[in-house]
Amino acid sequence: MTRVLLTGGAGYIGSHTAVALIERGHEVVILDNFANSERDVPARLERLTGRANIPVIEADIRDTGAVSAALAAHPVEAVIHFAALKAVGESEADPLLYYDMNIIGTIRLLQAMQAQNVRRIVFSSSATVYGQPDSSPIPEDAPTRVQNIYGRTKLVMEDLISDLARTGKLQAAANLRYFNPVGAHPSAMIGETPRGVPNNLMPYVTQVATGERPHLNVFGNDYDTPDGTGVRDYIHVVDLARAHALALEHICANDVSLTVNLGTGTGISVLELVRAFERATGREIPLNIAPRRPGDVASYYANPDMAARVFGWQAALDVNDMCRDSWAWQARRAGINDI
């Protein structure tokens, strides 16, 4: 059993990881400023897992004193670091906000960990660090060519953590490069709650299905892919959450550091995802073919072999599971009962 502090533990991926950790017998402490999550998430986690009194600290990761006090009050063996801002467009509009929240925030967190002698960390990185890859599947040793400020902050955060591991300040570290997380817990009790217009495809599709948005814009149908639309590696958030638990157990047991892709290794096109969603939900998604967006690439999917080889993780859920669970979550929030 490991006791772990989850920064951003009330958020989308953090909350699912809390469930996965508790199911595997670990203890979690949540630290979140609730800037992008709902305050009743910890209570929902308690109902979902049957675990009472999950400690919750409302604090900003940039507040070293508060994080240090939280670690002193709740001694942990490791931190899983989710807390960050994550919108590419916003990062280009306000770079300093992203440097401050993501990079300075991570430095402050690492200082608090050092002050409390917590020397193991699992970090939420992103496949966005590969930028425009030469080809897919993308292995971990592909060049990193960040294309935007958000991606830059992720790469700097990875480097900070790798440097501390290399110099022995951290005992064990995992930089996890997520591909495209989608879906929700099958209970429909936790899921993604994007504010405003969703940046990602699946939340947008679910909002078209509820009637909140009239149609889905498909940005480009003339890519060099089987149906002309962009191909991505969608990964069910429940699979992703389980990967965190396995990565944590691996680095804690072996005191090692690694950087690893988390994807299914299977590319799914926009049209394939939409058709799977329509099949899974019985709802039609009207489409509008729009011009390509600058910076988008035709295909982007993981070589996921390292995660399988090193800590025995493979995605188990497919695109149908992703669509069914995304819809169950969104429909429940929208008060739709025909599922």
Ligand X SMILES: NC(=O)c1ccc[n+]([C@@H]2O[C@H](COP(=O)([O-])OP(=O)(O)OC[C@H]3O[C@@H](n4cnc5c(N)ncnc54)[C@H](O)[C@@H]3O)[C@@H](O)[C@H]2O)c1
Q: Kindly list the residues in this chain that would bind ligand X in the complex (CB under 6 A).
A: 7-8, 10-14, 32-37, 60-62, 82-84, 86, 101, 105, 124, 126, 178, 181, 200
Residue 262: which of 140, 111, 170 has the closest Cα? 140
Q: Please, which residue, 7 or 221, has the CB nearer to ligand X?
A: 7
CA torsion 327-331-336-338 (nearest 10°) is 20
Cα dist from 1 to 24, 124, 248, 249, 269, whole Å: 8, 22, 11, 9, 40
| Closest separation in Å from C-beta 182 to ligand X | 8
Separation of alpha carbons 76 and 116, rounded Å: 9
| Closest separation in Å from C-beta 272 to ligand X | 19
Q: 150 an active-site residue?
A: yes
| Closest separation in Å from C-beta 284 to ligand X | 26
| Closest separation in Å from C-beta 262 to ligand X | 9
Nearest-CB residue to ligand X?
11
Cα dist from 141 to 105, 145, 303, whole Å: 27, 12, 10
Q: Please, which residue, 33 or 281, has the CB nearer to ligand X?
A: 33
Residue 120: which of 305, 309, 286, 256 has the closest Cα? 256
Q: Please, which residue, 221 or 259, has the CB nearer to ligand X?
A: 259
Q: Please, which residue, 60 or 296, has the CB nearer to ligand X?
A: 60
Which residues have a Cβ under 8 Å from the Cβ of 30 and sit 6 or more positions away?
Answer: 5, 6, 9, 10, 14, 18, 42, 54, 55, 56, 57
Q: Which of 150, 223, 234, 300 is catalytic?
A: 150
DSSP string over 51-93: -----EEE--TT-HHHHHHHHHHS--SEEEE------HHHHHH
Q: Please, which residue, 155 or 216, has the CB nearer to ligand X?
A: 155
| Closest separation in Å from C-beta 149 to ligand X | 12
Cis previous bond, 137, omega within 30 = yes
Report, as residue numbers or ranges, the catalytic residues.
150
